[in-house]
Amino acid sequence: MAVSQNGWEVNPPRSLRLVPGTVDVRITVADGPAGDVLMYVATQFDARVEDLDLDSTRGELDDWGYAPRPIRGGATTSNHASATAEDFNATRHPLGARGTFSRQQVNNIHQILAEVDNVVRWGGDYFGRADEMHFEINASPAAVQRVADRLRDQGSGFLMSLSPQEQRTLFNRAMGFLQQRWWKVIDGKAAQVPGGSPGAIPCAALDTLDGAYIVGTIGKLTERVIKLEAQVAVAAGKELTEEDVRSAVDAELAEFMDEYEKLSIRDDQEVQG
């Protein structure tokens, strides 16, 4: 049986999988526990280290998985050949370069790997030639299976793609949504008050959600849509720089926040009236 550098079988059953949280980043990884663990790492990298939807400045896709080839510059079979390795934003973190991530990003990478018991190794930790785009399975099938089982137990599907902190935030917001809250007008302003207070009015469901959270989420979605539109434009032959995209994002978000502020002022005036 032919194996790759990490001892895993080459050319295994594999699937092209969407990285949760991305617009359309898909990576081919091995079916089963190895692929599940790699998808967790990819999802956390996108959420906590760097946006995987960035692609290259020329618009080419630069997130890679399965590839039947030897290690670049050598004869040993690459772990990409066993679909147990993945590269993120490869054009921004070229082979051999060090320092392509900030210190905080490196800390986050190591935290993510600790969450999978370090059964995944980062190419930025190589003693020789650095490969900071690269993440690979670096443990036995039994060890990887244990990690995959734990990730599945602590939250499958969407929850499995979230960090522990994000899971706690989601839980707290869900509990806030389910909890009835009350408000009344105090000094011309709407204020939350204990239930049963004289003049207390029950909040509507949407009122129980954190407005800042909603605004922040809309802002992130707006940014991703603009980046996706930019990718389509580049693919169609239009020349766009990262500065062009950033300016468009900033302008769109500024317009959105301006509208939000106007609505907030109007609501305050209606309460006062």
Position 206 confidence tier, pLDDT thresholds 50, 70, 90:
very low
- Residue 8 belongs to some domain of the structure: no
In which residue are the tokens 């106007």 written?
262
- Among candidate residues 156, 183, 218, the one where a domain is terminated: 156
Element (H, E) at 112: helix 103-115
Burial of 43 (0-12, 13-18, 19+ CB in 10 A): buried
Residue 98 confidence (pLDDT):
94
- Residue 189 belongs to some domain of the structure: yes
Position 171 confidence tier, pLDDT thresholds 50, 70, 90:
low
- Residue 27 belongs to some domain of the structure: yes
- Among candidate residues 130, 156, 182, the one where a domain is terminated: 156
User: pLDDT of 115-149, one tens digit each?
Assistant: 999 999 999 999 989 999 999 999 999 999 999 98
| Same domain membership, residue 25 and residue 134 | yes
Q: Under a CB-based contact definition with an 8 Å cutoff, are residues 29 and 38 in contact?
A: yes
Q: Which of 47-61, 104-118, 174-188 has the lowest mean pLDDT?
A: 174-188
45 or 197, which is more confident? 45
| Same domain membership, residue 107 and residue 20 | yes
Residue 267 confidence (pLDDT):
45
Element (H, E) at 184: strand 182-186
- pLDDT exceeds 90 at position 157: no
The mean of the pLDDT values for the chain is: 79
- Residue 251 belongs to some domain of the structure: yes
- Among candidate residues 110, 131, 156, the one where a domain is terminated: 156
Q: Which amino acid is at 103?
A: R
| Same domain membership, residue 35 and residue 127 | yes
- Residue 5 belongs to some domain of the structure: no
- Residue 9 belongs to some domain of the structure: no
Distance between the two ends of the chain, CA-based, in angstroms?
78
Range of the domain at 66: 14-156
Question: Helix, strand or coil for residue 137?
Answer: strand
Q: Which of 14-23, 44-53, 141-150, 217-226 has the lowest mean pLDDT?
A: 217-226
Other Cβ atoms less than 10 A from the Cβ of 10: the count is 18
- pLDDT exceeds 60 at position 177: no
Cα-based torsion angle of the residue sequence 10, 151, 107, 34 in order, rounded to the nearest 10 degrees: 0
| Same domain membership, residue 216 and residue 137 | no
Instruction: Indicate the number of domains in the chain.
Output: 2
| Same domain membership, residue 80 and residue 18 | yes
Measured between alpha carbons, how far is 250 from 57 in angstroms, rounded to an integer? 18
CA angle centred on 168, ends 165 and 171, rounded to 5°: 150
Position 268 confidence tier, pLDDT thresholds 50, 70, 90:
very low
Position 107 confidence tier, pLDDT thresholds 50, 70, 90:
very high
In which residue are the tokens 């930019």 written?
230
With left for phi above 0 and alpha for psi between -120 and 50, is residue 208 left, alpha or beta? alpha
Other Cβ atoms less than 10 A from the Cβ of 216: the count is 11
State both tokens at 95. 């082979």
| Same domain membership, residue 181 and residue 55 | no
Measured between alpha carbons, how far is 63 from 70 in angstroms, rounded to an integer? 18
- Residue 50 belongs to some domain of the structure: yes
| Same domain membership, residue 241 and residue 188 | yes
| Same domain membership, residue 148 and residue 206 | no
179 or 104, which is more confident? 104
CATH of residue 114: 3.30.1380
Q: Which of 35-44, 132-141, 209-218 has the lowest mean pLDDT?
A: 209-218
| Same domain membership, residue 148 and residue 50 | yes
Residue 133 confidence (pLDDT):
96
User: pLDDT of 129-138, one tens digit each?
Assistant: 999 999 999 9
| Same domain membership, residue 209 and residue 146 | no
| Among 16, 67, 32, CA closest to 142 | 32
Question: Helix, strand or coil for residue 255?
Answer: helix
Q: Which of 143-147, 176-180, 216-220, 244-248 has the lowest mean pLDDT?
A: 176-180
| Same domain membership, residue 144 and residue 25 | yes
| Same domain membership, residue 265 and residue 191 | yes
- Residue 3 belongs to some domain of the structure: no
Burial of 253 (0-12, 13-18, 19+ CB in 10 A): middle
